[in-house]
Every structure is written in structure tokens, then in C-alpha cells.
């Protein structure tokens, strides 16, 4: 599968909320993020919430761009890709200033 992203993503683990659900990112970039989730939301679902970056909650709005279902029988989470509708202005700086592997 070809990478169709407009900007590179960095492998970072941040706590993110999708409404009332808390998940963790797999990778994140200025245009969006991928996250593991127990029940994958369908592509096209609007989402909003916060990303916890360097001790600060940064709000975002977006849309699920793609989704891959998990398998609860094998204890495998699903994964979703979220594209920001309006990227938070400070997002890129906070991502780049976070050490690799930094978790929430």
C-alpha cells in the first residue's frame, strides 16, 4: 500500500481522546494520527478531542480517514487513521520537541 500522506508522521505514543474514549497514538504528524482502538470507528466518522503533548491537552477536530478492525478473540486492537480538519497550530512544534517514545 502506497503512502499517500501529505506530510511525514513520527512514531510517538501520546494519549488522545476521541470524545469520551481514551486511546494511544501509534504515529502522529501535522496532518493527523493513527491510534490503536478496541472498536474501530468507520471511515468518515467525525471526531474531536484532545492530544496530550508535553503535559498539555491540545484540542483537535478531525475525521476518520481509514479504519482496520481488530479481533477481540485474539486480543488484537483495531487501528484508525484520523485526518485533522483544522490542524492545531502548535502541533508540529510539540511533536518534534517530544522525545521518541515519550508517552503522554
List, for residues 37-55, the tens digit of each pLDDT value. Answer: 988 899 999 999 999 988 8
71, β-bridge pairs: 76
- Where are any strands of DSSP class E within the chain? 15-18, 21-29, 32-37, 46-53, 56-68, 78-84
Tally of domains in the chain: 1
In a domain, 81, yes or no: yes
Rounded mean pLDDT of 71-97?
78
The per-residue pLDDT for range 9-34, each reduced to its tens digit, is: 678 899 999 989 999 999 988 889 99
Q: Give yes or no for a contact between 35 and 80, defined as CB atoms under 8 angstroms apart.
A: yes
| pLDDT, mean over the chain | 82
- Whole-model pTM: value is 0.79
In a domain, 2, yes or no: no
Q: Give yes or no for a contact between 64 and 19, defined as CB atoms under 8 angstroms apart.
A: no
In a domain, 70, yes or no: yes
Asked if pLDDT for residue 101 goes beyond 60, the answer is no
In a domain, 89, yes or no: yes
Amino acid at each position: 500500500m502506497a503512502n499517500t500522506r501529505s506530510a511525514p508522521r513520527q512514531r510517538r505514543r501520546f494519549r488522545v481522546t476521541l470524545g469520551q474514549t481514551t486511546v494511544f497514538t501509534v504515529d502522529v504528524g501535522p496532518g493527523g494520527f493513527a491510534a490503536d482502538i478496541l472498536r474501530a470507528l468507520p471511515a468518515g466518522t467525525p471526531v474531536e478531542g484532545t492530544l496530550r503533548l508535553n503535559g498539555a491537552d491540545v484540542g483537535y477536530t478531525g475525521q476518520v480517514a481509514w479504519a482496520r478492525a481488530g479481533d477481540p478473540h485474539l486480543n488484537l486492537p483495531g487501528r484508525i487513521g484520523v485526518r485533522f480538519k483544522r490542524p492545531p497550530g502548535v502541533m508540529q512544534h510539540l511533536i518534534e520537541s517530544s522525545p521518541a517514545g515519550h508517552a503522554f
